[in-house]
Amino acid sequence: DTEVTQTPKHLVMGMTNKKSLKCEQHMGHRAMYWYKQKAKKPPELMFVYSYEKLSINESVPSRFSPECPNSSLLNLHLHALQPEDSALYLCASSLRPGGYGYTFGSGTRLTVV
Amino acid sequence: QQPVQSPQAVILREGEDAVINCSSSKALYSVHWYRQKHGEAPVFLMILLKGGEQKGHEKISASFNEKKQQSSLYLTASQLSYSGTYFCGTEIRGNYGGSQGNLIFGKGTKLSVKP
């Protein structure tokens, strides 16, 4: 298995809703990442998990809450989002943190209404 | 600490060559190159870890000048399938020589290959 699987592919949520994004990989990768990408912009790093521990939080608002239940799974919990949070959310993984290429999932297209 | 990419956009005819540059103001641990087609996820092309390193991937290759904190991506004899946005990503070298662990992307170079 050489894929990173993200679900759902599309999500529309209201500003008072709570939802979660899911990311899964079975490549034995021990580093996992969340990126946010707006149209015509580069992916912007949000969180880094290294050996299931949160190692980097790029000053992301608390309405985004990451979770790494095990080495194969990464979640992003969403609560009280704003319309400007609408974007493509990409999950990625690498064999180890630092010095390895990233495999990206196909992303979740999030729309906040 | 976002790397600077140039040019912003390139239009080529099939068979022509292109060079995309990436530079950083910080000491680098590695440089990554990715291609993203419209509506798809970024796809890893290659990573360069050592100064002077050159890597190849079919007709796409890259070099890394660690001293100048620069990398270049070379696309030769371009094909229609090369169209997309190319991103360089950089890992900054930490105090103890390893990676700081965060891959930051440049703004991207949009490559269009015409028949």
Which pLDDT belongs to residue B15? 96
Residue A15 Rama label (left phi>0; alpha psi -120 to 50; beta):
alpha
Round to whole Å and give the CA distance between B69 and A20: 39
Query: Can you read off the two tokens belonging to residue A109?
Result: 């297209």
Which pLDDT belongs to residue A110? 97
Q: Which of B22, B18, B35, B7 is nearest to B71 (CA)?
A: B22
Which residues of chain A have a CB within 8 Å of the CB of B47? 99-101
- A4 pLDDT tier (thresholds 50, 70, 90): very high
- Residues B37-41 have a mean pLDDT of 94
Provide the β-strand partners of residue A9.
none
The answer on pLDDT for B52 being more than 80 is: no
Contact A48 B99 (CB under 8 A): no
- Residues A68-92 have a mean pLDDT of 97
More reliable by pLDDT, B68 or B73: B73
What is the DSSP-derived secondary structure letter of residue A59? Answer: S
Most A-contacting residue of B2, B48, B103, B104 (CB-CB within 10 A), to test interface: B103
Contact A90 B41 (CB under 8 A): yes
Query: Can you read off the two tokens belonging to residue B36?
Result: 């993203």
Beta carbons of A105 and A92 less than 8 angstroms apart:
yes
Which pLDDT belongs to residue B55? 75
The answer on pLDDT for A10 being more than 80 is: yes
Round to whole Å and give the CA distance between A107 and A8: 8
Which residues of chain B have a CB within 8 Å of the CB of A31? 101
- B101 pLDDT tier (thresholds 50, 70, 90): confident
The answer on pLDDT for A24 being more than 90 is: yes
Query: Can you read off the two tokens belonging to residue B37?
Result: 């087609």
Query: Can you read off the two tokens belonging to residue B42?
Result: 């970024």
- Residues A42-62 have a mean pLDDT of 94
Which pLDDT belongs to residue A102? 97
Torsion of CA B44, B48, B54, B57, to 10 degrees: -10
Contact A104 B43 (CB under 8 A): yes
A44, A98, A106 member nearest B29 (Cβ) = A98
3-class SS of residue A83: helix
Q: What percent of chain B has pLDDT over 70?
A: 98
Q: What percent of chain A has pLDDT over 90?
A: 94
Beta carbons of B49 and B40 less than 8 angstroms apart:
no
Query: Can you read off the two tokens belonging to residue B61?
Result: 């290759």
Which pLDDT belongs to residue A54? 93
